[in-house]
Amino acid sequence: MNVSYKWLNEYVDLSGLSPEEIAERMTRGGIEIDRVESRNQGVTGVVVGYVKSKEKHPDADKLNVCKVDVGTDEELQIVCGAANVDSGQHVPVAVVGAKLPGGMNIKRAKLRGVESQGMICSAKELGLPDKLLPREQQEGILVLPADLKLGTPITEVLGLEDAILELDLTPNRSDCLSMLGAAYEVAALTGLDVKLPESRIIDTAEQASDYVSVAIEAEEQCHHYSARYIKGVKIAPSPLWLQNRLVAAGVRPINNIVDITNYVMLEYGQPLHAFDADLVSGGRIVVRMAHDGEILQTLDDQERKLDSSMLVITDGEQPIALAGVMGGASSEVSADTVNILLESARFDGGTVRKTSRQLGLRSESSARFEKGVDPERVLLALDRAAGLMAQLAGGLVAEGVVQAGEVGAEPAVVSVALAKINRYLGTTLSGLEVKTIFGRLGFAFEVAADDVFEVSVPTRRGDITRDVDLIEEVARLYGYDNIPTTPIEGASTPGSLTVPQAIRRELRKRLTNAGLHEAISYSFTSPAQTDLFPDLAEQVRPVRLAMPMSEDRSVLRTSLLPQLLEIAAYNRNRKNDNVTVFEIGSVFHTDEETLTRLPHEKHRLAGLLTGSRRQSQWNVKAEAVDFYDAKGLLEEIFRLLGVQNSIRYEAAAPTHYHPGRTAAVLLETGRGYERIGFVGQLHPEQQRDLDLQDTYLFELELGQLYDAADAAIVYKALPRFPASGRDIAVVVDRTVQAGALTAAIAETAGELLESVEVFDIYTGEKLGAEKKSVALSLIYRHSERTLTDEEVTELHGKVVAQLEESFGAELRK
């Protein structure tokens, strides 16, 4: 809502208060003023002039030489290029020394040899916004009404010495979608009085009911419909003062009748509609729901296909307007219109909102109905507009209002106790202070026992329905700044993270210490991306948005990896080939075609490593990352969470991973070993497509890890007896996994084996292509005594024998 400071002054005496002061007070009072803009965009020295004569320029076809009277003794000679300039016109004249918006300075000049002492201006040159100009003013010079005094500053004529306050209204304060609403607000903030506009209707012999009938067939959607009949209007442009106010409010003047409906809408916040009464068959108004498939051509010349959820105004047969949204073309007021059927109604906000959304058609009218209009103003606005039509368009207002439905303008009574106000706000307001505040708001009230205020809330403030709404009014007028600052009373509570939150923080800490950067990517992705890594979820059906912004962001991610790949590619394109990143975030799975319940939302941890492990330096060579870097990170994480002994890795070949360099990660839970993720290399074909070097990935479900994580550190006594170490190297088939060897060793050696570690893998010609040598370091220890050499030798012998038996291992000497 754009509020003209000058116009506002009609309802509240603003003398002594600048537009900026009003803006500051309104903003601090809860109506945010986005900006205060001067209507004058830089016009000085432009006055009303009279074109006494016009002659063709001797040397230019398109130019005219005009003699212009601007109310001074001197007659000005002005060369003008506008096609519509003519003798006998009143026009804006920028005299020598004038300034125009955009920094143009008017000087004495010669145009094709003819002297010009100024410039005749168009509306655009005066800084009026193009889209608000009536059609006839969009081209050529601005032709002014003939009754203006010559020499009058144009800024006065066009009302440019004004400021516009741009209100950024919250949905609850739709009462301020009107000049009167803004006036009440300013009055409450300043303690001034509101002066209401007058409606003058001169009685006539004609009866409106002889011309108009009204029936409502959809009572839930149309609460009240009122109409008046205005006879014999003369369609013409509105007087300048009215046009100026419309333009100031950002509404384009059309003709006097339409302008009056818009003017009164801006003044009262009550949308009105004027029908050409002779085009409404039989003067019948029937308000009903549209039929499915019914067609209505709206004022913007669009064909609208209606359905049964939409409310329409009909003539008993055909729809002639989309209730509360827009009128129909068939009954539009035109230059030939003589008689007016004027509508003022209260439609259901939800219905208007739905219709307007469904058709993508929003109007000043729908914006007001959606948020609810003041029931009391339906008839006030009707009378005000009818009166203006008589006054400004020469119409005769027929006697009486034809109406149906309920006015419904009973003020609500809301009670609030002084004690509750103070308890709620933490204030110590007195009854007198609260009385003053309600008085300034214009709320009538009575004070009952125990300082309970029984407030009759005016119908214009439909947002106030409960005691807390009144408390807010008290708070904002008292000033939020004046409310004290207190600590919460009562026992203090210990704050804490939940276990999953604490785990995620530890993971972040550990992984960033290991050199990885944390990424955050979008949860929305393309359907193709969700197909890339399907193996970690049993029921991958991506969740699709109903109305995505683009196909690229149309579904919820099912894995974190595709976006990590995008990040790698993004950085590679910026000359950074070494990318080590991780992300902790949710993925979304469902097994339903159409959701009837929330999808499975799973926290995951994913990582990507590509390029070098670290930047090469003068003394450090770049080394490419490999599978074991990625796996090492997982091992570290599992140690961190205390679950390292419940984890197993198995060779696996999930989609789009390298089949020979990928492991499934299994976690032992109460239900046995469950697969919680994969670690491996991106499939070489994928790497080629994305133009990436060898890239290693991991992705883990965090849910099971949250459950399994063991935060309790239990101290284990340091060994008191010496260990006995034995190293062996065995030659086995290349396909034998080291994990199988160590598992077999652990199994055979039993409790006396403290640890077994692979310390070397050797392949070479000497062994043959199908063989490898695995060197293992075994440590034996007894916690209660020193093991004898014989004991160790015997046990170790069993271990070696087992390896020979199970794996055909040959002991390397």
Partner 1 sequence: MKERLEALRTEALEALQQVTDPGALNELRIKYLGKKGGLTEILRGMGGLSAEERPVIGQVGNEVRGAIEAAIDELQERFQREETESRLRAETIDVTLPGKAPLSGAVHPLNKVAQELEDVFIGMGYTIAEGPEVEEDYYNFEALNLPKNHPARDMQDSFYITDEILMRTHTSPVQVRTMKQMNGKPVKVICPGKVYRRDDDDATHSFQFNQIEGLVIDKNIRMSDLKGTLLQFVQQMFGQQAQIRLRPSFFPFTEPSAEVDVTCVQCQGHGCRMCKQTGWLEILGCGMVHPRVLEMGGYDPEEVSGFAFGMGVERIALLKYGIDDIRHFYANDLRFLNQFARM
- Restricted to residues 333-362, the positions that interact with partner 1 (CB under 8 A) are 349-350, 353-354
CB of 175 to partner 1, least distance (A): 12
List b or e across 399-420, with b for residues whose CB sees 16 or more CB atoms inside 10 angstroms. Answer: bebbbbbeeebeeeebebebeb
How big is the site for partner 1, counted in residues (CB under 8 A)? 97
CB of 452 to partner 1, least distance (A): 14
Cα distance from N-terminal residue to C-terminal residue, the chain: 93
Answer yes or no whether residue 581 interacts with partner 1 by CB under 8 A. Answer: yes
Answer yes or no whether residue 594 interacts with partner 1 by CB under 8 A. Answer: yes
CB of 148 to partner 1, least distance (A): 41
Footprint (CB under 8 A) of partner 1, residues 763-802: none
Answer yes or no whether residue 27 interacts with partner 1 by CB under 8 A. Answer: yes
CB atoms within 10 A of CB 748: 18
Of the pair 356, 724, the CB lying nearest partner 1 is at 356
Answer yes or no whether residue 498 interacts with partner 1 by CB under 8 A. Answer: yes
Answer yes or no whether residue 511 interacts with partner 1 by CB under 8 A. Answer: yes
**Span from 89-97, 225-233, 588-596, 641-649 in contact with partner 1 (CB under 8 A):** 588-596
**Two tokens at 492?**
């203090």
Residue window 515-534: x/- pattern of binding to partner 1, with contact defined by CB under 8 A: xxxxxxxxxx----------
Specify whether the CB–CB gap between 786 and 722 falls below 8 A: yes
CB of 444 to partner 1, least distance (A): 22
Of the pair 100, 511, the CB lying nearest partner 1 is at 511
Answer yes or no whether residue 618 interacts with partner 1 by CB under 8 A. Answer: yes
Single out the residue of 231, 248, 244 nearest to residue 283, CA to CA.
231
Residues sharing a CB contact under 8 Å with residue 730, sequence separation 6 or more, in sequence order: 741, 773, 774, 776, 800, 803, 807, 809, 810, 811, 812
**Span from 28-36, 227-235, 383-391, 735-743 in contact with partner 1 (CB under 8 A):** 28-36
Footprint (CB under 8 A) of partner 1, residues 667-686: none
Residue window 395-434: x/- pattern of binding to partner 1, with contact defined by CB under 8 A: ----------------------------xxxxx-------
3-state secondary structure (DSSP) of residue 224: strand
Of the pair 31, 778, the CB lying nearest partner 1 is at 31
Q: What are 582's strand-pairing partners? A: 518, 607
Report d(CA 401, CA 413) in Å as an integer: 29
Single out the residue of 242, 224, 244, 192 nearest to residue 39, CA to CA.
244
Sign of CA dihedral 76, 78, 84, 86: positive
- What region, left, alpha or beta, does residue 788 occupy, with left being phi > 0 and alpha being psi -120 to 50 degrees? beta
Of the pair 24, 794, the CB lying nearest partner 1 is at 24
Single out the residue of 599, 582, 587, 597 nearest to residue 525, CA to CA.
587
DSSP state of 451: G
For every residue of 347-377, which 3-state class applies, written as one string? ECHHHHHHHHHHHCCCCHHHHHHHHCCCCCH
CB of 519 to partner 1, least distance (A): 4
CB of 371 to partner 1, least distance (A): 5
Footprint (CB under 8 A) of partner 1, residues 445-484: 466, 468-469, 471-472, 475-476, 480-481, 483-484
Answer yes or no whether residue 567 interacts with partner 1 by CB under 8 A. Answer: yes
Answer yes or no whether residue 548 interacts with partner 1 by CB under 8 A. Answer: yes
Report d(CA 795, CA 732) in Å as an integer: 21
CB of 31 to partner 1, least distance (A): 8
One residue of 146, 335, 547, 718 binding partner 1 per CB under 8 A: 547
Footprint (CB under 8 A) of partner 1, residues 151-170: 170
Answer yes or no whether residue 579 interacts with partner 1 by CB under 8 A. Answer: yes
Answer yes or no whether residue 588 interacts with partner 1 by CB under 8 A. Answer: yes
Answer yes or no whether residue 28 interacts with partner 1 by CB under 8 A. Answer: yes
DSSP state of 239: P
